[in-house]
Every structure is written in structure tokens, then in C-alpha cells.
Amino acid sequence: MFENLSERLSGVFDRLTKQGALSEDDVKTALREVRVALLEADVSLPVARDFVKAVQEKATGQAVTKSVTPGQQVVKIVHDELVHVLEGEGEPGELKVDNAPAPILMVGLQGGGKTTTTAKIAKRLKEKQGKRVLMASLDIYRPAAMQQLEVLGRQIGVDTLPIVEGQSALQIAKRAQQQATMGGYDVYMLDTAGRLQIDEKLMGEVEDVRNAVKPRETLLVVDGLTGQVAVEVAEEFDAKVGITGVVLTRMDGDGRGGAALSMRAVTGKPIKFVGLGEKMEALEEFRPEQIAGRILG
């Protein structure tokens, strides 16, 4: 499907080395290939441009001094730089869940995988950290979404807040907070309503809930296959409600993972997890090495 970047670069350098020593221009030619590969992997243009510039600075000096296998050398520099950009602070997959009950706010567009991811994270907190978790759906517009969370809760053995009709998202959030406090839960997760696109009403609602519960984590769940759109959604949510981390879903698909790079470069927020399927187990902590390998092809 995609031409392998490593091979492509070797080809470029083969041609170049026959003409003599590597110059800055030679590296530039190779980096043009890198840029194309990044764009093919769905990295946004400005991010790809900045990335190539950073690599160029590192590659120029090195390539001239050690030109044994220049192609591989540039690939390694590119790889290391990818990992560098992708890495966030803190341990991947680590969530702030001290000071019980710790609220986690889940935000994102409809269909991004928010409800599924809420349950996946709850299961993980329960099984890996022995946390008592309460989940609550704030999606007052779609009763089916509330029921979906309840069904998932039963499936993974995690409690959900009883559904009460006619309450606002804020009222439900406060009820969740109360129940979590009284019931001795360690964490309560609020699965907010998603829309097909960002609108003021949705943001206002999420803001009200955020102000009321003061979440320890606000996680944005976005479809990793949507590339540039995912990045725009992240920027918007971050500007309006302030996110603490990102979960990229559908990374089991055949996307090249470029959204991860753009996401990191543009928002500066850590990618905490990746979703790798519909099953409750299909959640992994984000590993920069893996995505770097995928982008390089």
C-alpha cells in the first residue's frame, strides 16, 4: 500500500553517495521523502514541515561524518525524533486518581468511542489498580447511550449511576459525585454527551460540569482514523474545557497513526491510551515507539 520509508531513503542515498560526500543538499533531498511519508501517514502539513526542519538540523552534521549507511542513519534520526515528539510527560497510561473520589471527565464527539472507552478505562482501573469505580452517563439526549453504559458496566462488573429521567447533565454529575462520596468509590467517571460536531451548547454543558466537579482528568476520546479532524477537535476541546490527555481510538484500523504526531505537536497534551478494537480488553497504554514504527512504515 505505502512505500516503505526505510527502503525509499536507502534508494535516495544510494544515488547520492555515488556522486560523492553527503552535503546539506543531499540530506534535504532525503528529507523530502520523509515529508512525503509523513503526509501519507496523515500528519498535518505544518507539523510535517516543522518536523522535517528539526530532523534536518540533526541529520546534516551526522550524515556527513558517518556515512556508512546514510539511509539507515537518517531513518534512525527520524525515528528518534518521532519518539521524542510523541512522548508526553509522565508514564503512559497513568491517570491521576488520588484523593477519592477522583472525577474523570470523558469528552469527545459522538461516535468517537467515548462510551466504550469509559468502560475500558473503568475496567482497567478496577483490575490493574484495584479501584472501585462508578460510571455515569450524562447523555440526556440519547437514552440509548445511557443504557449502553449500563450494559457495559454489568459486563465488566463496574457500577453505574442509576438512570433518573428528566435530570440535566449537571444534575446527574452532582448526583454521581454524591453517590461516589457516600458509596466510598475511588473514582467516578462522567461520560458526557457527544455531538456530531462541536457546538456551543455542548461545550457550555461540559464547562458547567467541569466547574462543578473539578475533574482530576479530562480525557478527550477521538477517532484516530480521522487524522486532521481529530487534531482540530482536540484543539477546540482543549481551548474550551481544557483537556489533560487524549485517547486515540480505532488504532486497530489501517491508519498510519499520523494523527498521533499532529496531536502531540499541536496540543502538547499527552496521548494516554490507544483503543485497539471494540472489546473491553482492547485498550493499551500509548507507546511512542509503536506509533513511530507505524509512521515510518
Least distance between ligand GDP and beta carbon 159 (Å): 19
H-run or E-run covering 60: helix 45-65
Q: Does 108 bind ligand GDP (CB under 6 A)?
A: yes
218 is in an annotated binding site: no
- Listed in sequence order, the residues at least 6 apart from 116 whose beta carbon sits closer than 8 Å to its beta carbon are 152, 249, 275, 278
> Is residue 111 at the binding interface for ligand GDP, with CB under 6 A as the rule?
yes
Binding-site string for ligand GDP from residue 238 to residue 267, where x marks contact by CB under 6 A and - marks none: -----------xx-x---------------
> Is residue 115 annotated as involved in ligand binding?
yes
Q: How is 157-187 classified by DSSP, letter by letter?
A: T-EEPPP-TT--HHHHHHHHHHHHHHTT-SE
- Residue 70 near ligand GDP by CB under 6 A: no
β-strands 217-223, 187-191 pairing? unpaired
Residue 249 is labelled as binding a ligand = yes
Q: Under rule CB under 6 A, which residues in 264-293 are in contact with ligand GDP? A: 275-278, 282
Name which position in 10, 56, 73, 115 contacts ligand GDP (CB under 6 A): 115
Residue in 180, 184, 182, 176 with CA at minimum distance from that of residue 192: 176
In terms of CB distance, is 56 or 218 closer to ligand GDP? Answer: 218
Cell of 281: 480488553
- Nearest-angstrom CA–CA distance, 112 and 78: 30
* Closest approach of ligand GDP to the CB of residue 117, in Å: 6
| Total residues binding ligand GDP (CB under 6 A) | 17
Site for ligand GDP in 150-209 (CB under 6 A): 194
Burial class (CB in 10 A: 0-12, 13-18, 19+), 19: exposed
Residue 112 known to bind ligand? yes
Interacting residues with ligand GDP (CB under 6 A):
108, 110-116, 194, 249-250, 252, 275-278, 282
The binding site for GTP comprises 108-115, 191-195, 249-252
